[in-house]
Amino acid sequence: KENSFVFHNGVEIPTIGFGTWQIPNEEAYAAVTMALKNGYTHIDTALAYQNEENVGKAIKDFDLPREEIFITSKLPAQIKGYDETLDAFNTTITNLGVDYLDLYLIHAPWPWDEIGADYTEGNIQSWKAMEKLYNDGKIRTIGVSNFSVTDIQALIDACNIVPMANQIPFYVGHDQEELLAFCKEHNIVVEAYSPLATGQTLNSPEIKEMAEKYGVTPAQLCIRYCLERETLPLPKSTHEERIIENSQLDFSISPEDIKKLDAVEDVRK
């Protein structure tokens, strides 16, 4: 199905998610309401974004049954350990005002001020807590974020459930070939955060030119690229016309043009 991806346990996730990173709590209610109003049914947040409260309120106030909305949140990167994970999960569902999550992710393999540090044991303990929450029916799917092949392999070796998702930075020019191949092999859904490289890809002359050829905007080309590469894009915007634009992706990019986009220089390097 074009409009959903399927996890290895059979649960489906709507293909476009609304990203809420960098949306302050004061703006989150309006932004999430706009997204829901314009057909998004998948919202991505995190305890670390400090906007769960208003994300949850917007979802609650919107006229859709809970089971028709897919909600993702994340275990803060600095929280490692079994009991600590159960506590953080409770904080998240309390903030959101929900009694279950659709997807819960370990936000990163290491705290943000220690990028690259080895927290393998802590990740294993956190993962065991996530397995428990999953088995108790509190979360429909569990996964990771910012994990490398080695980080994921460590969980596979030590735990029972293979992560169902890995949410990573993915955008035109940053194609993550090896990680994508590994995830595909293990049936792990790859979610693309910052599909516009937080807006930086939109000024690329190559991207602008190709977008013109397809009669779409640079943002639409970049988001469609994620889908063509079998990743699930999570675009973020607080402007309604862009929120609408970012979900109108009914076109396809030719294999030759995908190759060209793969070869675009990484805007963040």
Q: Is 207 in the site for ligand A2P (CB under 6 A)?
A: no
Beta-strand pair 4-6/12-14: antiparallel
Shortest distance (Å) from residue 169 CB to ligand A2P: 9
The mark string for 138-177 relative to ligand A2P (x by CB under 6 A, - otherwise) is ----------------------------------------
When the beta carbons of 142 and 219 are compared against ligand A2P, the nearer one is 219
Instruction: Select the span of 33-41, 49-57, 198-206, 259-267 touching ligand A2P (CB under 6 A).
Output: 198-206
C-beta of residue 246 within 8 angstroms of C-beta of residue 235? yes
In the beta sheet, which residues pair with residue 75? Answer: 106
Shortest distance (Å) from residue 220 CB to ligand A2P: 7
Shortest distance (Å) from residue 7 CB to ligand A2P: 23
Instruction: Select the span of 4-12, 90-98, 191-199, 204-212 touching ligand A2P (CB under 6 A).
Output: 191-199
Q: How far is CA 239 from the centre of its chain?
A: 20
Size of the site for ligand A2P (CB under 6 A): 18
What is the CB neighbour count within 10 angstroms for residue 39? 12
Catalytic residue among 29, 49, 119, 171: 49
Binding residues for substrate: 107
Handedness of CA 69, 5, 12, 95 (dihedral sign): negative
Q: Is 225 annotated as catalytic?
A: no
Judged by CB under 6 A, the chain residues 222 through 251 that form the site for ligand A2P are 235-239, 242, 245-246
What residues contact 136, with CB distance under 8 A and at least 6 apart? none
Cα gap 242→81, rounded to integer Å? 39
Cα gap 262→269, rounded to integer Å? 15
Handedness of CA 255, 190, 41, 222 (dihedral sign): negative
Residues contributing to the site for ligand A2P (CB under 6 A): 19, 194-199, 202, 217, 219, 235-239, 242, 245-246
